[in-house]
Amino acid sequence: DPRNYQPRADVLHDRVVLITGASGGIGKAVALAAARHGARIILHGRNIRKLEAVYDDIVGGGAPRPSILPMDFEKAGPDDYDRMVAALEQEFGRLDALLHNAGMLGERAPIEHADVAKWMRTMHVNVNAPFILTRCCLPLLKQAKDPSIIFTSSGVVPRPRAFWGAYLPSKWASDGLMRMLAQELEAHPAVRVNSLNPGKVRTNMRLQAYPAEDRATLPEADTIVAPYLFLLGPDSRGITGETFECQ
Ligand code: NDP
């Protein structure tokens, strides 16, 4: 069970791992943990100041020096993704893993009253961005020895419910994309593609979704990272097309 995974200290030694949305919340916690286990992290996010703080935490802890790749998925066009991946290849020469963690909650309103522009923005950040980034990274990932792609799922996939706006269909689409890609890559069995549902985690997004909730009852992001390390590292070799729960 990936929830009880106990990674060796150097399990991600020298792996180059791109994490989107690494400026805060779950992405930041996974970046710190993966770096501590030896990975060279490419920190993606929007807010450069927050990304620099994560960078400092990683370097301060004596882990391998990461790299910062800022990009706003709401504004970026296909060329920006190509440039980002070219910069990454230039600096690291390869890519071993890609974690699609960035996401937005968007507007939650009844379908009849949902704002169309906001709906499209949420679908764009949560579905189109992982698609475009995956498309750009696949040539590099296929060259890696033990490549892994991870999408971020949600409890709204197994338990759909009312008034979640574009967020709910975006998470269904992201899981659909994961499953389709896993099958497309059957001819490249080294590349595995899976998704993780983090469960309830004390982050800004959770606060936005449940403002009245007692935050003290929620686990911190750094307590749920074991399944992420499992899927990023060699111990999940051969597993593809699956969704795992972190809690
Ligand atoms: P946070 O809101 O704390 O972090 C979201 C991250 O995504 C930030 O790093 C943010 O960057 C980045 N991001 C958002 N919009 C954009 C954009 N337009 N362009 C680039 N980056 C962007 O959320 P969580 O840590 O809670 O969520 C992480 C993932 O986990 C999401 O996919 C979420 O759907 C999923 N999830 C979370 C749960 C929870 O309980 N917290 C439960 C189930 C799923 P920046 O700070 O620079 O804006």
**For position 41, which CATH number holds?**
3.40.50.720
Distance 133 CA to ligand 1 centre (A): 16
Nearest to 226 by CA among 2, 18, 29: 2
Residue (of 16, 13, 12, 72) closest to 44 by Cα position: 72
Strand order in the sheet with 67-70: 67-70, 40-45, 16-19, 97-99, 148-152, 192-197, 243-245
Q: What number is the average pLDDT over the span 167-194?
A: 97
What whole-number distance in Å separates Cα of residue 206 and Cα of residue 213?
Answer: 9
> Biggest alpha carbon distance in the chain?
52
**Domain residues for 236?**
2-245
User: Any idea how long the chain is?
Assistant: 247
Measured between alpha carbons, how far is residue 41 from residues 19, 125, 193, 195, 201 in Å? 7, 21, 19, 19, 22
Interval 208-246: pLDDT, tens: 999 999 999 999 999 999 999 999 999 999 999 999 999
Confidence of residue 25 (pLDDT cuts 50, 70, 90): very high
Tracing tokens 């892994």 back to the chain, one arrives at: 148
The pLDDT tens digits for 57-105 are 999 999 999 999 999 999 999 999 999 999 999 999 999 999 999 999 9
Tokens coding 118: 């906001």
Query: Going by CA atoms, what residue is nearest to atom 43 of ligand 1?
Result: 154
Q: Which of 81, 167, 210, 228 is catalytic?
A: 167
- Cα(21) to ligand 1 centroid in Å equals 6
As for how many domains the chain has, the answer is: 1
HSE-up of residue 186 (Cα within 13 Å, Cβ side): 4
Q: CA–CA distance from 70 to each of 11, 98, 132 (Å)? A: 27, 15, 16
Q: Are 80 and 67 in contact (CB under 8 A)?
A: no
pLDDT for 116-173, tens place per residue?
A: 999 999 999 999 999 999 999 999 999 999 999 999 999 999 999 999 999 999 999 9
Q: Which residue reads 């060259």 in tokens?
A: 143
CB of 198 closer than 6 A to ligand 1?
yes
Q: In the annotation, is 81 catalytic?
A: no
